[in-house]
Amino acid sequence: MDSTKLIKEKLPRHIAIIMDGNGRWAKKRSLERIMGHRRGMESVRTVVRECNDLGVEALTLYAFSTENWNRPRAEVKALMALLKRYIRAEINELHEKNIRVQAIGALENLPEDVLKVLQEGVEKTKNNSGMVLNVALSYSGRDEILRAVADIADKVRQGALATADIDEQTFSGFLDTADLPDPDLLIRTSGEMRVSNFLLWQIAYTEIYVTDVLWPDFSRDHLYQALVDYQTRRRRFGKTDEQIAP
C-alpha cells in the first residue's frame, strides 16, 4: 500500500496489538503451533520497523497473557524460549534505532533467565528517546488493575495519598502503563471480536480494528490498511459530531 495515503498529522500516537492466530496459521499448514509463533516473530519485526519509521510514539504488543500460562507446558516453554531469543537477537538493532524497550505485566512470574534478558534489554535502552516498544508479558488487565488498587490502598494507609485525590489521572499513574498515553488504535488479528483481558482501563476510548488476517501473515500492507481505516474514524469522545473539528 502507498504510504502517501496516510495523513502524517493523524497517525495514532500509541498503537496496541493483540497478536493472535499463530496456532491457526500453523494448523492450516499441518505444522506444530510453535512454528506459528516463530513466524509470528517475523511480523513483530515488520511492525516494529514500520511503526518506528512512521514516528509512532508507542507500540504495545500483547505477547503473553496471564491466562496463557494455562496452555500446555511444552508450548509455554517454547514461547518463553522464543521470547528470550527475540530479545537477544533484536536488542542491538532496537537500541541503534533509539527505541526504548519496556515491559508490562506480572513480570516476576517469568522464568528467571527470560526476566534477566528482558531486564538487560530494558536497562540498555532506557535512555533512548525514540519509540517505546512496550511488551505485555504475563499480562492481564484485571491483574494490572488489582495491583494498582493494592498499591493505592498501601499509599492511603501510609497517609501518602488522600482518598479524595484518587481521580482518573492518579489511578492511571499506578498502572504499568503510567508513562504512556492511552492507545489510540487497538489492532486484533485473526478475527476474534474480544479484548481478552488486554489494557482494560486504557482502551476506554481506543479505536478498535479487527482483521481476519492471522498474525504470522500480518504485513506492512495490513498495518497500513489498519492506519488508513483509523484515519477515517470520527473520534467523538462522547460529544456530538458537530462539536468535534471537521
Name the one range near ligand IPE by CB under 6 A: 18-26, 90-98, 108-116, 233-241. 18-26
Q: Which of ligand IPE, Mg ion, none sits in contact with 24, Cβ below 5 to 8 A by type? A: ligand IPE
Smallest distance from ligand IPE to CB 187, Å: 11
Contacts of 156 (CB under 8 A, 6+ apart): 162, 163
Q: By CB under 6 A, is residue 85 in contact with ligand IPE?
A: no
220 by Cβ neighbours in 10 Å (0-12 / 13-18 / 19+) ranks as middle
179 is catalytic: no
Q: By CB under 6 A, is residue 68 in contact with ligand IPE?
A: yes
| Minimum CB distance to ligand IPE smaller for 11 or for 16 | 16
20 is catalytic: yes
3-state secondary structure 139-208: ECHHHHHHHHHHHHHHHHHHCCCCHHHCCHHHHHHCCCCCCCCCCCEEEECCCCCCCCCCCCCCCCCCEE
Q: Which of Mg ion, ligand IPE, none sits in contact with 194, Cβ below 5 to 8 A by type? A: ligand IPE
Listed residue (209, 207, 208, 205) closest to 237, CA to CA: 205
Smallest distance from Mg ion to CB 26, Å: 12
Which residue in the block uniquely carries the three cell numbers 460529544?
239
Q: Which residues bind Mg ion (CB under 5 A)?
A: 20
Catalytic residues: 20, 68
Q: Which residues bind ligand IPE (CB under 6 A)?
A: 18-24, 62-65, 68, 79, 190, 192, 194, 196
